[in-house]
Amino acid sequence: MDNKNNIINFNKKPLLDESQRFFKGFQYVKIVKDENNNYFKEESLREYAQKCYYIISVMRENGIGVAIYKYKVPYESLLKFINEFKNKSYGEIIDIERYIPEDLA
């Protein structure tokens, strides 16, 4: 596998387990410790996620051509939002960006 398709290279910090694995055809890596070599805490990860939101870009035919719609989606609604596009009747998701509030950075 070339380096640009290797998801391990996307993370510049060393990982505890850098072996490439697959789940239902999707490549992933397992990260068990944070940048300070501490194990993750479930409660802290949930609190972090709940403060983030996502800007989801959707390509949709609008009658005179194609337009891009951008939706601000909170963490707790992310999967519900994505599931609405399974049959593409509302458009096609073309980009998902995560935004982290400045006080978390």
CA dihedral 25, 28, 32, 35 (to 10 degrees): -170
| Domain annotation covers residue 12 | yes
Find the domain containing 10 and state its range: 1-40
| Domain annotation covers residue 47 | no
| Domain annotation covers residue 18 | yes
CA distance 96 to 98: 7
Task: Judge whether 21 and 28 are in contact, CB under 8 Å.
Answer: yes
| Domain annotation covers residue 45 | no
Q: Collect all residues with Cβ–Cβ distance below 8 Å to 70 and sequence separation of at least 6.
A: 55, 56, 57, 58
pLDDT single digits (tens) 28-81:
888 888 888 889 999 999 998 999 999 999 999 888 999 999 999 999 999 999
Other beta carbons less than 10 A from residue 58's beta carbon: 19
pTM: 0.69
